[in-house]
Chain A
Amino acid sequence: AQRVTQPEKLLSVFKGAPVELKCNYSYSGSPELFWYVQYSRQRLQLLLRHISRESIKGFTADLNKGETSFHLKKPFAQEEDSAMYYCALRVAAGNKLTFGGGTRVLVKP
Chain B
Amino acid sequence: GAGVSQSPSNKVTEKGKDVELRCDPISGHTALYWYRQRLGQGLEFLIYFQGNSAPDKSGLPSDRFSAERTGESVSTLTIQRTQQEDSAVYLCASSRGPPGTGELFFGEGSRLTVL
**A and B are partners in one complex rather than unrelated chains:** yes
Task: Mark A residues whose CB is within 8 Å of B.
Answer: 6, 32, 34, 36, 43-46, 49, 86, 90, 93-94, 96-102
Q: Is B101 within 8 A of A99, CB to CB?
A: no
Interface of A is mostly: strand
Contact of B42 among A34, A43, A97, A99 (CB under 8 A): A99
Q: Given the complex, which residues of B lie within 8 Å of A98, measured CB to CB?
A: 45
Give the shortest distance, in Å, between A88 (CB) and chain B (any CB): 8
B residues 15-63 touching A (CB-CB < 8 Å): 31, 33, 35, 41-43, 45, 48, 50, 56
Nearest 9 CB-CB pairs, A to B? A94-B98, A93-B99, A101-B42, A99-B43, A96-B48, A102-B42, A44-B106, A46-B103, A43-B106
Q: Is A99 within 8 A of B97, CB to CB?
A: no
CA of A102 to CA of B43 in the docked complex: distance in angstroms? 8
Q: Given the complex, which residues of A lie within 8 Å of B79, measured CB to CB?
A: none
Closest to B41 in A: A101
Q: Given the complex, which residues of A lie within 8 Å of B33, measured CB to CB?
A: 96-97
B8 located at the interface, meaning its Cβ lies under 8 Å from any Cβ of chain A in the complex: no
Contact of A34 among B31, B50, B102 (CB under 8 A): B102
Centre residue among B31, B41, B102, B105 by max chain A CB count within 10 A:
B102
